[in-house]
Structure 1
């Protein structure tokens, strides 16, 4: 066995491409050499991708020699066993094994399958700490710990079952959840013991992990950490280029509920990226406005360290995302100031629901950032815009954007008041009747108005383009149509059915409908 492993090692290094040969790479540790000896033929896609990566070429010691503004790692104290060699298989998959429930002995070495953000933090400590305070890192918890969102999820991916009372929804199975909402939000990984598999090397023992595979942004890992760096820095290249290009963000932010990518591709910024992006330098650190790129991508606006051509810092790098976001504009009926904390399931509105606004749009201000913080974040993001645009242009854009928030919220208030009266008159069963507000056709009409169409209008405005997305392409046309359908449905049911006495907040009937009143909400 030892002799065959040595032979594989010799063959693997003979076959290394000249462009990334040993002279172009950092030294490879003996442990990683042993991994490559087998996996270069078993998993050539992984190995070849890694060999082209910066991890393969640059040892942490050399990365630390960069001047501070150009460094790609934020740790200052790298363990000696990692400092002088390339970041290879063993350097990632043997880190912190005592913290990983999936750790097991593989070819006499203790390794773990799932590499987590806390492993990456050995070199990228600031980035990992910032990401842990990011709404994305809490995306799974914010979904599964919020009963309102669980109602919505059940009505979409649950299994419809006929009963005497009509259709009821049974929870989706784990595999359906994993390839639906949890594909982006993240699964919970659970170690379920070991299993024997037949391999090219004979029978071997491997951990069995529920929820795997997954690279969702809020994945709960086997060491207790949240998220997956591979969601943006894809395995096994882990490149900054991939994270900076809009295609990566488009994997989850494509719509119609979060239409950022499709709006971007139709915007002037997206137009310039499509026309000229092949000539941009997506690997430069820091990223120089005008020199390395000439129109922003998602990364430029929300994450990257940007400088001007004089080398002056425009915005600092961040993995918290929210540092440049004053408003949260998607996923909920009304826009609202950004949450103070990334765990949004802790938010409670006046009715006790885990939502950042009431059904009349009033914000749950205790849980949201204050106007002064909003202004600070606006200035930070506007600094990116001012790298290419004059102040009058930027101010004009912001004025239109905030007007769009006001007008779409006003539209959704009308839609919600119509829906509230439909619930109050008993034409549909909502929260006042201890039922889901999302599982009837008329409720879906209401849901569409904000989940798809108001959101799309807001994104079209926020991203300075994709004009048709503000009108006909999932925009104001469809929004106004859904409001009209709600109004017509309410009027039709009033004519067809003697209206029952509406339900009040305490469950007692009242004499007249109050289109402006709020429905009784369960706590």
Structure 2
């Protein structure tokens, strides 16, 4: 018996974490008339039962290539047009559309969130290990990516964990002193871990009565989340839907700068803001409606005439004649020689995607010392830097002359050097404050002068480096760039001089002065 809209809202009330289960199963309801590929009996059964839920999700799936072609047909495409990289697709999956059952009941034994539903083994999350059945190469590359390790790189790093706690913790104020109260897990999940990814854990089952009968639903913590480094119930890392939004999974969405802006827009990672004011961003804004974002491979000068984020970092690019300019990659740092943001100084890219293993010579889990000396044993060597730079420059040269590209990279290298020098100046001020006991270095992120120092490298230096790399000069000068670097140094000096005055200990409650007698 169909469920009306009122019943649906009541059955899947938002008070329960397992209400999200309903949203996933919504995707199972869709008439298959728009599908060009045969649908499995299991998927058809899902659709027949859930046809009244959330038509928008179903409309998305109907538009997807998953609904319109089979893995076997996708494997027969010419190599450069092929999107399925696994050489062997299981027989039971190869000849049918990739539908509800093919994703949400795949690998049930590996999923701790698998539960019995209408005599089927269904799991809520779909993970890179599931997608790897058809997209093995992409899944393997993504697992070697800093993004897939984003949860551990943040939470397992004592320095970054302190920063996260300083940002998300609650301040309790008494007089002129404040006490930091550690943030609760939901606050962490709703802030930094929305992008870095949560740890999704199964906390048992919850029995619920619905108009369709009694069902047991999994209770999950760290959910909902589609962060790039999400720890999944099957043990895998990451979420493909961070870039390939479910349930359409369209390549044109992944190629859109707006998709990257979900996590790369704030002052700590101003990549999207820089792109939006760059010449490339201006061309995208004006001309994108004329471009072909669906083509595989992506032909420079024919499908598009200016880069998006995916152009430079991920996509398979060819000339109009089919000559390969850059291979497709889901290890986003394949074309990145240096790490520009998130750390105190720019530095060569880490060798391992697990950056929590890095230790500098002072024992801190950072790729450089506070004075800029690199932990070279954990970073790529000069040969690999040159190889990655060459790959990226080949992308640039598909639109620009060699002189233009060389000149741009020369400016960029200089910006790295000067922004690092301005961070070092701020660090010397900070070290003096620590040495003179004007600040306590047991926590690098909790005092006013320390917060100014953090802004120097986490906001302003990042803005300069990314602006130079991506031709967005506006954000490299006055809007959080070089002006802010110089102003912040003066602010730190002036504040330290204030702290050095008698009785001006930071955070201390100052004695009240008696009123003057007239």
TM-score, L = length of structure 2 = 0.90
Is 1:450 aligned with 2:466?
Answer: no
Task: Name the structure 1 match of 2:322.
Answer: 311
Q: Give me the whole-angstrom Cα distance separating, in 2, the residues matched to 1:114 and 1:458.
A: 37
The answer on 1:330 being equivalent to 2:341 is: yes
Which of 466, 469, 479 is 1:462 aligned to?
469
For residue 52 of structure 1, report the CA deviation from its aligned partner: 1.0
Q: Which range moved further: 205-214 or 487-496? A: 487-496
Report what 1:21 is aligned to: 33
Deviation at 1:197, TM superposition (A): 2.6
Aligned to 2:239: 228
Cα root mean square deviation, aligned:
1.9
**Contact 1:349-1:356 within 8 A present in 2 as well:** yes
Alignment of 1:419-438 (within 5 A): 419-430=430-441, 435-438=442-445
Within the candidate set 438, 441, 445, 2:448 is matched to: 441
- CA shift at 1:474, angstroms? 1.0
- Aligned equivalent of 1:477, options 456, 459, 483: 483
Structure 2 runs not aligned, ≥5 long? 3-26, 506-518
| Whole-angstrom distance in 1 between the partners of 2:28 and 2:411 | 59
In structure 2, the CA distance between the partners of 1:93 and 1:428, relative to structure 1 (3 Å rule), is same
Which of residues 278, 294, 298 in structure 1 aligns to 2:289? 278
**2:407 pairs with 1:401:** no
Dislocated runs of 4+, deviation >6 Å: 12-15
Question: Quick check: 42-51 or 176-185, which moved more?
Answer: 42-51
1:81-120 aligned at under 5 Å gives the runs 81-120=92-131
> What does 1:114-513 align with in structure 2 at a 5 Å threshold?
114-162=125-173, 166-430=177-441, 435-464=442-471, 466-496=472-502
CA contact (8 A) 1:25 1:58 kept: yes
Change (3 A) 1:14 1:69: closer
Q: What SS is found at the alignment partner of 1:95?
A: coil
| Residue matched to 1:520 | none
Residue number in structure 1 paired with 2:45: 34
1:13 Cα deviation after fit: 13
Q: Is the 8 A contact 1:39 1:47 kept in 2?
A: no
Displacement of 1:418 after TM fit? 0.3
Q: Is the 8 A contact 2:200 2:220 kept in 1?
A: yes
The structural deviation recorded for 1:201 is: 1.8
1:494 Cα deviation from its structure 2 partner: 3.1
Distance in 1 (alpha carbons) for counterparts of 2:69 and 2:479: 46
Q: SS of the residue aligned with 2:165?
A: helix
Distance (Å, rounded) in 1 between the aligned partners of 2:501 and 2:120: 75
**CA distance in structure 2 between the aligned counterparts of 1:30 and 1:488, rounded to whole angstroms:** 72
Q: State the distance in 1 between where 2:496 and 2:118 align.
A: 68
Distance 1:285 1:487 in 2: 54
The Cα of 1:489 is off from its aligned counterpart by: 1.7
Query: Per-residue deviation at 1:198?
Result: 3.6
The runs of 5 or more residues in structure 1 that have no matched partner are 3-11, 500-523
SS state of the match for residue 110, structure 1? strand
Give the 3 Å change call, closer, same or farther, for CA 352–478 of structure 1 in structure 2.
same
- 1:43, CA displacement in angstroms? 2.7
Assess, with a 3 A threshold, how the Cα gap between structure 1 residues 346 and 312 changes in structure 2: closer, same or farther: same
Separation in structure 1 between the aligned mates of residue 29 and residue 362 of structure 2, nearest angstrom = 68
TM-score (norm 1): 0.89
Aligned-pair CA distance for 1:316:
0.4
1:65-111 Cα offsets, whole Å, 9 max, x none, are 10111100101110111011100000001111000001111111111
Counterpart Cα distance in 1 of 2:109 and 2:213: 27
Say which SS state the counterpart of residue 208 (structure 2) adopts: strand
**Aligned with 1:443: secondary structure?**
helix
**Number of residue pairs matched?**
481
**CA–CA distance in structure 2, aligned partners of residues 220 and 15 of structure 1:** 30
Q: Distance in 2 between matches of 1:476 and 1:68?
A: 47
Q: Residue 40 of structure 1 aligns to a residue in which SS?
A: coil
| SS of alignment partner, residue 203 of structure 1 | strand
Pairwise CA distance, 1:372: 1.1
C-alpha contact 1:36 1:47 (8 A) present in aligned 2: no
